[in-house]
Amino acid sequence: MTSISEIDSQSGTMIQVENPATGEVLCSIRNMNAEDVQDLVARARSAQPQWAAMDFSQRARLVRAWRSWFIQHREHIIDLIVAENGKTREDALLAEVFYIADSMGFWAKNAAKYLAPESPRTHSPLVLGKKITVHYRPLGVVGVIAPWNYPLTLSIGDALPALMAGNSVVIKPSEYAPLAVQYVVQGALEVGFPQGVIVAASGGGATGASLVDRADMIQFTGSTRTGRQIASRCGERLIPCSVELGGKDPMIVLADANLERAANIAVEWSMRNSGQICMAVERVYVEESAYELFVDKVVKKVAALLQGLPGGYGTVDVGAITYPAQMDVIQSHVDDALEKGARILVGGNPGRGPGRFFEPTVLVDVDHTMKCMTEETFGPLLPIMKVSDADEAIHFANESTYGLGSSIFTRDIGKAEGLARRLVAGNTWINDAIMSYLAQEVPFAGSRESGLGGRHGAQGIRKYCDTHTILTTRFAPSHELTMFPNSARRSRAFERLLVLMFGRK
């Protein structure tokens, strides 16, 4: 059997999917080659025109039927996510099943509004009296390439606006967590989606690359390294792409903050899903006078977390590490920090069990020479650094190649809002974390190496469309002043008009 690390060099082979919390092999999936992907894209392409010809309400009706199916089958969906991902049942319920059900309703309701034709009034005197309408037209076949950490949220969640815009979609889920996606895609067919409108490919990086070679637009979520390759290939093909990439989110805790809440949120969003969240809290900067108390609170809370094999609701707080190579990254960040003078206050080792676990870990005496403060860890690691004041905190928070999320804790809201504007990030949460992701009306996007494009809101669906501007001249003379033949008298008159209009300071 092909090992999962060999799959990129092969095609037409099978890939084992394992449960990261137990080490048990769950099943094998096909590692599709370029011809397989070509077939899927061809199916999607032939289904798309009919799908695009349906009106929004017809597509919305199908998406709502899909949502009913999804809720009816939630138990099995959660079982699949927990098994292939090693995450807790609560993680699967809240961040995947709840989000997707909510998202299905959101896009079914709002797609028509975001994509309604627009007729803006033009400012240009040369276009006065003409009617201009901007239409949004689907691009064709959208390829959605997804990571393993939130297998449904980051695949079906992106497919929904693409579908509602009238595209067909080929999803390439992660080879490490493909099962829930395949099941939910089947559900779409069961409720009456036309064949080919949404299909799932299976395979590794090479399968994804084949999709990039054939689709009309790529929506990618994953590492910055892969995102760069995909954006570059899309550039060669001159097709649009939206890439949602890594992060190293800072949290700033000022001395006047509600330290109990700040500590709860630091622990929650560094340890939930074992820290395998693009917008996890990956580093904390605490103002000097609050530092001891904050660290004390965090350490007690982290030490009390229960880690282990995810069972029913409430059995464990922290699950497994999904991606095998991530264990080495986490360990190397801990080792590097210790070598450079950091101290571990809790955790620090691989966890016990048949599967892959890493203990929830708190590091102090850290600085920016250490990988744990500058590179994405993507694990249950919380480094806490003392800073002298808010300015120093902002300085270090911005000292990163990433710019996804960020948070600030203080009771002085005016000050927080001022500081927020100084952070280089796509999202800032004041006395909170992550929650704007659930407000699907507003953009979620990364700056710097955290991504290009973004999801949610108007731009989260318009990115799946071409714009088509139609100008209509209804009542006009046969000959207008700007038409041939050129005349020196008219051109000089235009020049005087130009100076009159734009020449004043």
User: Considering 234, 278, 372, 465, which one is annotated as catalytic?
Assistant: 278
Q: Which helix (H) or strand (E) holds 225?
A: helix 224-237
Q: What is the rounded distance in angstroms from the CA atom of residue 258 to the CA atom of residue 445? A: 28
Site for ligand NAD, residues 430 to 449, rule: CB under 6 A: 446
Under the binding rule (CB under 6 A), the answer on residue 234 touching ligand NAD is: no
State which amino acid sits at residue 464.
Y
Q: What is the rounded distance in angstroms from the CA atom of residue 30 to the CA atom of residue 182? A: 12
Near ligand NAD by CB under 6 A: residue from 56, 106, 193, 378: 378
Site for ligand NAD, residues 115 to 154, rule: CB under 6 A: 145-149, 154
Under the binding rule (CB under 6 A), the answer on residue 66 touching ligand NAD is: no
Sign of the alpha-carbon torsion through 284, 363, 400, 281 = negative
Near ligand NAD by CB under 6 A: residue from 222, 347, 351, 457: 222
Site for ligand NAD, residues 379 to 398, rule: CB under 6 A: none
Under the binding rule (CB under 6 A), the answer on residue 19 touching ligand NAD is: no
Nearer to ligand NAD, 351 or 451 (CB): 451
Nearer to ligand NAD, 149 or 428 (CB): 149
Radius of gyration, CA atoms only, the chain? 26
Phi then psi for residue 66, to 5 deg, are -65, -40
Under the binding rule (CB under 6 A), the answer on residue 170 touching ligand NAD is: no
232 CB-contact burial (10 Å; exposed 0-12 / middle 13-18 / buried 19+): exposed
Q: Quick check: 287 and 254 in contact, CB under 8 A?
A: yes
Under the binding rule (CB under 6 A), the answer on residue 161 touching ligand NAD is: no
Window of 181-189, 226-234, 346-354, 412-420 that interacts with ligand NAD by CB under 6 A: 226-234
Provide the minimum distance between the beta carbon of 159 and ligand NAD in the complex, in angstroms, as a whole number.
Answer: 14
Sign of the alpha-carbon torsion through 123, 126, 130, 134 = negative
> From residue 140, how far is each of 41, 238, 405 by CA, in Å?
10, 14, 32
Q: What is the rounded distance in angstroms from the CA atom of residue 425 to the CA atom of residue 97? A: 27
Under the binding rule (CB under 6 A), the answer on residue 204 touching ligand NAD is: yes
- Whether 278 sits among the annotated catalytic residues: the reply is yes
- Whether 244 sits among the annotated catalytic residues: the reply is yes
Q: Quick check: 163 and 464 in contact, CB under 8 A?
A: no
Under the binding rule (CB under 6 A), the answer on residue 221 touching ligand NAD is: yes
Q: Is 202 helix (H, G, I), strand (E, B) or coil?
A: coil
Active-site positions? 244, 278
Which residues make up the interface to ligand NAD (CB under 6 A)? 145-149, 154, 172, 174-175, 204-205, 208-209, 212, 221-223, 226, 229-230, 244-247, 278, 323, 376, 378, 404, 446, 450-451
